[in-house]
Chain A
Amino acid sequence: MTIEATLVDDRPEGATAPVRRSWSDTIDAVLPVAAGVAFILGWEFLVRYLEVSKFILPTPSAIVATLIADRAQILTALQYTATVTIGAFIAAVVTGIVFGVLLTQNRRIERTFWPYAVTMQVTPVVAIAPLVIIWVGLDRVWLSMLILAWMVAFFPMLSNTAIGMKSADHGLRNVFELYEASRWKRFRYLQLPSALPFILAGARISSGLSVIGAVVAEFVAGSGGSRGLAFMIVESGTLLNIPRMFAALVMLSIFGLAIWYVTSAVQRMLLHRWHESELKQEN
């Protein structure tokens, strides 16, 4: 049998061929940076030219100067917010996966608890926040923050895990049934890998939401003991220290970007060999 020889050309074109780096790739990489630089330069120029008051809109250079001058304060605030955000995110990922898996083990369990999960999702967290802070106590504000941020970030993890668990290919389920796979093996080798792209997509949404959750929680907690970036924004606003307000905002954006980048990198790492979302196709 001379299958081998004829087989090699059998592959779809470009399925694995490394994508050549070309001019257009370089341009793709440079353009967003260039747009950012142009925007900042335009901002700087317009504020100076139109003589906008620094209480309304400070120049980018003033913001950078504040960032450097107040770096100790800002970094402490960042640490606080980051701790709450990352803690809430990890809690959301763990609980979301665990409950998502448990929920899909049994139809009745799912029917029983799903409405409450949805209720938790549609209730605006801001509305419960004061209550949570009272319950947990003002001496442990960080814990209230954690709980609030977790509540915001939890649902996408839960629903994505639940959908992912049910999205295993029908044909593959038959294969597992044919070989009489145990429940655990079916979970470990079929449902979990099938759910992985969904779980990772959920994690990306949750990561962004946990930042939002932490910020909202700090806003609500106010001066009750929060020392994070969001509170710094509120406080600076009250003190009319607008450049510091912007500096805290910039820090928050950088932090959000960093989280986004990390979750994207994890997703790429886990999916790049097999999932459609991470594959490039040359046409």
Chain B
Amino acid sequence: MTRAVMQAGAPPIRAPERAAPPASEEVVPQKPLVRMRNLDKVYSNGTVALKNLNMDVYPQEFISLLGPSGCGKSTALRIFAGLGAYNAGIMEWPQAMHDVSGKPEREVGFVFQEATLMPWATVFDNVYLPFRLKNQSKAKVRERVNEVLELVGLSAFAQAYPRELSGGMKMRVSIARALAPRPKLLLMDEPFAALDEITRTRLSNDLLNIWAGAKCTVMFVTHSVFESVYLSQRIVVMAARPGRIIGELDIDAPYPRDKEFRLSPEYSAYCREVSNLLDQAMRS
């Protein structure tokens, strides 16, 4: 099952005829949402953050980027979001519209490690922010904002301020804000790292439900083997110095996943396999 891919100028690691996620039944070859080829990033101090990254991201996938700290997984995520430049390589958005200058319209949402809410604005206004920045009136998108608040279970708190919410609820607002403009790709950078175990488990379950409903791709950065196995269809394992992909693993268990899955021997087997890959990442 493991495909430990050595990437010395390797060909694309994924054949394009990848099966669609469980939502649709027919298996059609489809264009990837994002195609990353031979991507390098070097920081100005000379540190090689990413070396020869190749990745295809398909619509409606759930991918985890797993690796030890310093392996560049967050950097990679930020590049997907357009929040950082890279030094070499290609990144394409085959399905996106492009503007006159050839810049793709990415349609991404980003959930950061912290909730990064505006403390001076209500929950509603925080979720409205992406629309406000795109010059869309409140009246026009009110329904959509309420809809995503409903989706994350915070309808009753639309007029509350972030200060009045718990850590888990703030993270829900952050997820709602990212989902509001219906992104095709939802990037999540260790969003649950700062939360307690119980809250994290609940949010993981909710995230899977949201993902099933929102029909978007999720890229989830984590350093937890268990979290990645529970959530993802595909785990990309990265190693540090230089940041690179050292292997990939498909988690073929069907959704919806629940406590049963968490306690199943299948789950432990996957965790062991991913752990081994991670050990390999630490050694190299």
Interface residues of chain A, those whose CB is within 8 Å of chain B, are: 1, 3-4, 6-8, 10-12, 15-16, 169, 171-172, 174-182, 185, 189-190, 193, 196, 273-276, 279
Contacts and interface: CB of A to CB of B under 8 A. Distances in A.
A274 B163 contact: yes
B164 A16 contact: yes
Given A1-B153, A12-B166, A279-B163, A189 B132 contact: yes
A174 B112 contact: yes
Contact of B83 (A7, A12, A16, A174): A174
B11 interface: no
Interface of B: 81-83, 108, 110, 112-114, 116, 118-121, 129-130, 132-134, 152-156, 160-166, 168-169, 177, 199, 202, 206, 209
A160 B267 CA distance: 55
Contacts of B155: 4
A185 B166 CA distance: 28
Report, nearest first, the 6 A-B pairs whose CB atoms are least far apart. Answer: A3-B153, A171-B116, A179-B133, A10-B166, A181-B133, A193-B120
A15 B166 CA distance: 9
Contact of A176 (B81, B120, B133): B133
Nearest to B169: A10
Contact of B164 (A11, A185, A196): A11
B160 to A, nearest CB: 8
Given A1-B153, A11-B169, A196 B120 contact: yes
Nearest to A4: B153
Nearest to B154: A7
Contacts of B161: 273-274
B120 A274 contact: yes
* Among B118, B169, B199: residue with most chain A CB under 10 A: B118
A179 B134 contact: yes
Contacts of B121: 193
B174 to A, nearest CB: 9
Contact of B132 (A4, A185, A273, A275): A185
Contact of B118 (A15, A172, A185): A172
A274 B119 contact: yes
A196 B121 CA distance: 13
7 contacts: A3-B153, A4-B155, A10-B169, A11-B169, A12-B166, A174-B83, A178-B81
